[in-house]
Amino acid sequence: MKHLTLLLGASLLLAACSKQEPPPEPVRPVLSMEVKAEDQQSLGRFAGTLQARYESNLGFRVAGRIARRAVDVGAEVEKGALLAVLDPTDQQNQLRAAQGDLARVQAQFINAQANARRQQELFNRGVAPRPNWTWPRPT
């Protein structure tokens, strides 16, 4: 009986020393979805028109990109006031192309003059071939 009391006391002592685990936290539901690219066709097709927010009846006489805008939208301006500045790159490229074309044509003209002088000199010396037929050429 002594052993039984000793065993019972030791088991009570061990039971008093053990840690009690806290209850597990409740499960919280989470809503989630997979992110993926949508096809345009799944959205459908819509009819409509696109229009500019601001429209103006003014324009430049030449094509190009606007490099600087001198006035804000809705500002009052006077006749002859500077509204915008075009980027000069397009016009400079067109000028260079025209100058190149001019140089090419001038070189062709100089070459044609030299050929004409050579032919005239050969003709004057009697070395140039002369046609032995008249126009229209007989068949």
Q: Decide if 85 contacts 65 (C-beta within 8 A).
A: no
Q: Any residues with CB less than 8 A from the CB of 87 and at least 6 apart, and which?
A: 64, 65, 66, 67
d(Cα 64, Cα 89) in Å, to the nearest integer? 8
Which pTM does this prediction carry?
Answer: 0.43
Tens-digit pLDDT profile for residues 33-61: 787 776 655 666 778 888 888 877 777 67
Query: Given phi > 0 = left and psi -120 to 50 = alpha, else beta, which region is 20?
Result: beta
d(Cα 116, Cα 108) in Å, to the nearest integer? 12
Task: Mean pLDDT check: name the lowest of 17-31, 32-46, 69-83.
Answer: 32-46
